[in-house]
Amino acid sequence: MSDLHVYDTTLRDGAQQEGLNLSVADKLTIASHLDELGVGFIEGGWPGANPKDTEFFARAATELELKNATLAAFGATRRAGGSAATDPLVRALLDSRAPVVTLVAKSHVGHVERALRTTKAENLEMIRDTVTFLRGEGRRVFVDAEHFFDGYAVDRAYALEALRAVFESGGEVAALCDTNGGMLPGQVWDVVTDVAQSLGLTGLDAGASGDARLGIHCHNDTGCAVANSMAAVDAGATHVQGTINGYGERTGNANLVTVVANLQLKVGQQVLEPHRLQESTRISHAISEITNVPAYSRQPYTGASAFAHKAGLHASAIKVDPDLYQHLDPKHVGNDMRMLISDMAGRASIELKARELGLDLDPLRDEDSALVQRVLATVKDLELRGYTFDAADASFELLLRREIDGALPPFFEVESWRVITDSQSDGGALSEATVKLTAGGKRVLRTGEGNGPVNALDHALRLALATAYPEIEHLELIDYRVRILDAAHGTDAVTRVLIETSDGETTWETIGVAANILEASWMALVESVTYGLLRAGVPAR
């Protein structure tokens, strides 16, 4: 295992993201996930700055059983002109009982003079006093040198002096912060190389011999936070900070999952045990659920689209060897390869998608080859008419199964449907839908009401199927999206409806396209229920 520190600040710097608000319980759950991922340090927040973070540390001390990670409490150096021993915020850091304290300290003269409104000498004293005090109280002390790169550009000697003050007082890590996120990888590499040489800290040996490490903490304002972190490690940093999914203020922090995967799978530094890295997709998504920030599908390594292939030519090469169009095997990070079906698909895309769905087609069999060709032609024709199968995987599976003998049970047969909407005396409107179909060997006619026509159709369809297929009770329509495809036609335009359905375990998307919005909605609804029955393994009745 590499000795490099993997330091997570999701619960502190990540929580500074606009719109992200974590309860204490959320923070405790996220900390457990981070521990499971195998990060070395979890920065839990700033005790004393707000009651929530103070409570987090109090509860963490009794409720959180960390198996891998060490908890760090974040705070600032003592106030100018005061003393660390009597500073209430420094006291709160001690009270947190976290074994590591990470202090934010100024290293930029402009910030010392204009933000702290103190002297350069007093700022160095604030660092020395606070680090010495906390070390004396038995804490490991890390220091985030705020605005280090900008400060280095203005006054290199002073920026280095601030770092010396950290190490001379017993600080273990000085993390160079690109606080404003404006750096580029070459600049970071040059500065870290110079700092490491100037302070005699080169590579992991420095950590081993002198218990002194350079760290890196990057923000993503140039879109380079991960690249900057990699450059810093390459130049000698042995402690890397970041957040899960790149959460953070403004454009976010370095995405720690990406940094770790890069270090492990590209640079060959084993910073996590391989079986833990394989949990990174699951954990990244689990944390998205808690933060309520939708997972970014194009996130490197762990995004749902990170190994999704749409182009037919790519699929044809992948059929021979997935490595031909993938930078690595997605299993290293617990992700999966997926084929997307669209008008950019070729025969290979259909074959691979069928295999992904457990429907093996043999291209050497004339029958299968003709089927693949037929499905491909249908997909291209439907996409021309407004379908988009890469957003409606379930509808593609149904299309494919309809072509394969016996692959789609004939669950029900729709005879007709109708909706009417009445204005109400209170000013609202109520819809009523009637559906006629045959299911379970019986002709059924049911009426459903709803606050809109699609809602009414959904109710009527479920009522009509309920006797033959009580299993549909668990299906829930969770999203309904409409897009007008040819805006120039106004109300004559073609409408595309995408419906997302859940059975409580998984979700799937189905599509309907028609000139009439209700017809498009009905198509997507019927597909949604049909797919739900298929997934449940229900036989046709």
Interactions with ligand ACO, residue window 322-381 (CB under 6 A): none
Judged by CB under 6 A, does residue 515 bind ligand ACO? Answer: no
The residue whose two tokens read 């042995």 is: 238
Of residues 13 and 432, the one with the C-beta less far from ligand CC(=O)C(=O)O: 13
Contact of residue 217 among ligand ACO, ligand CC(=O)C(=O)O, none (CB under 5-8 Å per partner type) = ligand CC(=O)C(=O)O
381 burial class (0-12, 13-18, 19+ CB within 10 angstroms)?
exposed
Judged by CB under 6 A, does residue 116 bind ligand CC(=O)C(=O)O? Answer: no
In this structure, is the dihedral angle defined by the CA atoms of residues 340, 341, 344 and 347, taken in order, positive or negative? positive
Judged by CB under 6 A, does residue 13 bind ligand CC(=O)C(=O)O? Answer: yes
Q: How many CA atoms lie within 13 A of 59 on its CB side?
A: 17
Q: Which residue from 5, 63, 55 is spatially nearest to 29, judged by alpha carbons?
A: 63
Partners of 413 in beta bridges: 438
Judged by CB under 6 A, does residue 317 bind ligand CC(=O)C(=O)O? Answer: no
Per-residue DSSP letter, 101:
E
Kindly tell me which residue out of 20, 28, 85, 104 binds ligand CC(=O)C(=O)O, with binding defined by CB under 6 A.
Answer: 104
Of residues 46 and 411, the one with the C-beta less far from ligand ACO: 46
Kindly tell me which residue out of 5, 27, 213, 217 binds ligand CC(=O)C(=O)O, with binding defined by CB under 6 A.
Answer: 217
Judged by CB under 6 A, does residue 43 bind ligand CC(=O)C(=O)O? Answer: no
Judged by CB under 6 A, does residue 108 bind ligand CC(=O)C(=O)O? Answer: no
Beta strands in 322-428 (DSSP E): 338-339, 412-423
- Give pairs for 82-90: CB < 8 Å, separation 24+: 83/129, 84/129, 84/130, 84/132, 84/133, 84/134, 85/133, 87/130, 88/48, 89/48, 89/49, 90/130, 90/133, 90/134
3-class SS of residue 176: strand
Of residues 102 and 342, the one with the C-beta less far from ligand CC(=O)C(=O)O: 102
Contact of residue 129 among ligand ACO, ligand CC(=O)C(=O)O, none (CB under 5-8 Å per partner type) = none
Judged by CB under 6 A, does residue 50 bind ligand ACO? Answer: yes
Part of the chain binding ligand ACO (CB under 6 A), chosen from 98-106, 251-259, 319-327, 474-482:
98-106
What values do phi and psi take at 95, rounded to 5? -65, -25
243 near 254, Cβ under 8 Å?
yes
Kindly tell me which residue out of 32, 179, 222, 243 binds ligand ACO, with binding defined by CB under 6 A.
Answer: 179
Part of the chain binding ligand ACO (CB under 6 A), chosen from 42-50, 336-344, 352-360, 519-527:
42-50
Rounded least distance, CB 237 to ligand CC(=O)C(=O)O, Å? 15
Judged by CB under 6 A, does residue 105 bind ligand ACO? Answer: yes
Contact of residue 293 among ligand ACO, ligand CC(=O)C(=O)O, none (CB under 5-8 Å per partner type) = none
Q: How far apart are CA 510 and CA 426, in angstroms?
A: 35
Judged by CB under 6 A, does residue 509 bind ligand CC(=O)C(=O)O? Answer: no
113-126 exposure pattern, b = at least 16 Cβ within 10 A, e = fewer? eeebebeeeebbbb
3-class SS of residue 173: strand
Rounded least distance, CB 51 to ligand CC(=O)C(=O)O, Å? 21
Kindly tell me which residue out of 104, 293, 359, 493 binds ligand ACO, with binding defined by CB under 6 A.
Answer: 104
Kindly tell me which residue out of 92, 177, 348, 372 binds ligand CC(=O)C(=O)O, with binding defined by CB under 6 A.
Answer: 177
The amino acid at residue 41 is: F
238 near 211, Cβ under 8 Å?
no
Of residues 13 and 383, the one with the C-beta less far from ligand ACO: 13
214 burial class (0-12, 13-18, 19+ CB within 10 angstroms)?
buried
Per-residue DSSP letter, 211:
S
Rounded least distance, CB 148 to ligand CC(=O)C(=O)O, Å? 8
Three-state SS for 268-310 is CCCCCCHHHHCCHHHHHHHHHHHHCCCCCCCCCCCCCCCCEEC
Q: How many CA atoms lie within 13 A of 293 on its CB side?
A: 19
Judged by CB under 6 A, does residue 79 bind ligand ACO? Answer: yes
Judged by CB under 6 A, does residue 77 bind ligand ACO? Answer: yes
Q: Which residue from 62, 36, 67 is spatially nearest to 244, judged by alpha carbons?
A: 36
Of residues 79 and 164, the one with the C-beta less far from ligand ACO: 79
Of residues 2 and 180, the one with the C-beta less far from ligand CC(=O)C(=O)O: 180
Binding positions for ligand ACO, rule: CB under 6 A:
13, 46, 49-50, 76-77, 79, 104-106, 115-116, 146, 179
Binding positions for ligand CC(=O)C(=O)O, rule: CB under 6 A:
13, 104, 144, 146, 177, 179, 217, 219
